Amino acid sequence: MPVLKKQLQPFSDAVNGCFSRGAEAYDGHALLQRAIAARLGGLSRQRGLILPPGPRVDLGAGSGLLSRALERGLGGDRFVRVDQCGALLRQEAEVPQLEWDLNRGLPPQLIPAACLASSFALQWLEQPELQLGHWCDRLKPGGWLLLAVPTSGSFPLWKDAASRAGVPCTALELPDAERLIESTQEPLELHCLQRLRFSRRNPGGLPFLQQIKTLGAQASRGPQLSPGQLRRLLRSWPGPEQAILWEVLLLIGQKR
Ligand SMILES: C[S@@+](CC[C@H](N)C(=O)[O-])C[C@H]1O[C@@H](n2cnc3c(N)ncnc32)[C@H](O)[C@@H]1O
């Protein structure tokens, strides 16, 4: 009898499975994502961005937090919500949306785009710097990119706790801010560049890992920790005097 080898699941399928399971709870728990969407929406209004005609697209739109904030900020046409996770897209009704894996590039019917927006999604794709360069190439001249993405300076507490415990850190590897900025410099004129740091209360190891899971954001490229490794990680997790840190790159640029 032939021996069947277990097929390795592509990472984007694992990501999709996790976000699908967390879809109903996402909107109510994604507080940082909601705040960042509101910040991008506010900046788009304050800076009076004028968009050329053409598709406005939210890449990795999830439940539409960023689309709604930008629609309030900019007025005019609706954003097309693009995401591979149908369960998250279905959290909104009667809006333009498309189920699509962004590792395949952008949907051809939406390019060249007048506006590409994305928040907290680029880090889930293969080779984020390359994807970002590709997004810039798919903008119309005069079109806008509005981006927010967590970057590699995030979660020092988690990395330190894992290293003290002698277990792998299962946090998603986040892209380097400098390299992301570099990939936008030639195609875009940058109008706003912010490297933000957010400090959140450290609720303890297990509640923190549960918060990540509730959002559906627990997919990891490495193997899951064994129960023994998890116990060691939790024993090394510091108390509430050390906060959870997020480093977020926010960037607004116009295609030259
Ligand atoms: C943390 S959520 C952010 C959602 C939304 N942008 C927000 O700010 O609330 C990450 C989103 O990226 C989407 N995503 C991850 N990998 C993707 C891929 N390969 N193609 C399309 N969407 C993807 C997930 O399904 C999820 O909706």
Question: pLDDT by residue (tens digit) across 133-182?
Answer: 999 999 999 999 999 999 999 999 999 999 999 999 999 999 999 999 99
Q: How far is the CA of 26 from the centre of ligand 1 (A)?
A: 11
The pTM assigned to this predicted structure is 0.96
| pLDDT band per the 50, 70, 90 thresholds, residue 25 | very high
The pLDDT of residue 243: 98
Name the closest-CA residue to atom 15, ligand 1: 124
pLDDT of residue 81: 98
In ligand 1, which atom is closest to the CA atom of 217? Answer: 1
Assess whether pLDDT exceeds 80 at residue 1: no
99 burial (CB, 10 Å; 0-12 / 13-18 / 19+) is middle
Task: Give the mean model confidence (pLDDT) for residues 98-123.
Answer: 98
Distance 234 CA to ligand 1 centre (A): 28
Cβ of 30 closer than 6 Å to ligand 1, yes or no, is yes
pLDDT for residue 239: 97
Q: Is the pLDDT of residue 7 over 60?
A: no
Q: Measure 241 CA to ligand 1 centroid, in angstroms.
A: 31
CB of 57 closer than 6 angstroms to any ligand 1 atom: no
Report, as an integer, the average pLDDT of 58-84.
Answer: 98
- DSSP letters, 54-77, are S-EEEET-TTSHHHHHHHHHH-SS
Residue 114 tokens read as: 């007048």
pLDDT in tens, 81-101: 999 999 999 999 999 999 999
For the chain, domain boundaries = 11-154+173-202+244-255
Substitution candidate for ligand 1 out of 120, 122, 127 with most atoms within 8 A of CB: 120
Q: What is the pLDDT of residues 179-224, one digit of tens each?
A: 999 999 999 999 999 999 999 999 999 999 999 999 999 999 989 9
Whether the CB of 212 sits within 6 Å of ligand 1: no
Ligand 1 centre from 15 Cα, in Å?
9
CA of 216 to the centre of ligand 1 (A): 10
Q: Rounded to an integer, what is the distance from CA 217 to the centroid of its chain? A: 10
CB of 15 shorter than 6 A to ligand 1: yes
Does the domain at 11-154+173-202+244-255 match CATH 3.40.50.150? Answer given as: yes
How far is residue 139's CA from residue 136's CA, in Å, rounded to a whole number? 6
Task: Tell me, using a 6 A CB cutoff, whether residue 88 lines ligand 1.
Answer: yes
Does the structure show a pLDDT above 90 at 8? Answer: no
> What is the pLDDT at residue 2?
40
H/E run at residue 196:
strand 188-200
